[in-house]
Structure 1
């Protein structure tokens, strides 16, 4: 399936700034508001449905015998123009 990037930004940020962005996203999701992403001249507004596919992934990239790069990826996904999707099995905890 072809993929189209609607918005993308990447830059170094302090942990506090990242937490602020995630809190703003969480507040928008909790209130049922649209989510607008904006950086420079880029902007996109999305309206996530009540239920979304939620993926959290921890990865290590790099050589097996040396230092690599660690990441935490968080993804929300839903069918375009869908009002509901199935709930996932299992409980996720972030500690």
Structure 2
């Protein structure tokens, strides 16, 4: 199935700013509310179901310059359903 990007945003922010954004998403999820993402003149509103697939990935890119590490958190669901395959712990 082809993928289509319907919203994308990237900006450099402080750790505190990132934590506040993630906290808002977490609060909305916990309350069962929609999550609206906006940047510039674009926005998208998401309505995740009660159960979603949560994927966490840490990658390291190496090359000519210094190594770059990234962490990705992804929520995924099929429209009309939700699944769960395991439990992630943060230590």
TM-score by length of 2: 0.92
Shift of residue 86, structure 1, vs aligned partner: 2.7
Match of 1:45 in 2: 45
Equivalents in 2 of 1:20, 1:34: separation in Å?
17
Match of 1:72 in 2: 71
TM-score by length of 1: 0.88
Secondary structure, aligned partner of 1:38:
strand
Shift of residue 67, structure 1, vs aligned partner: 2.5
Q: Deviations over 1:31-69 (max 9, x none)?
A: 000000011101000100000010011100122x86221
RMSD between aligned residues:
1.4
Match of 1:12 in 2: 12
Match of 1:26 in 2: 26
Give the length in aligned residue pairs: 91
In the TM superposition, structure 1's runs of 4+ consecutive aligned residues that sit over 3 Å from their partners are none
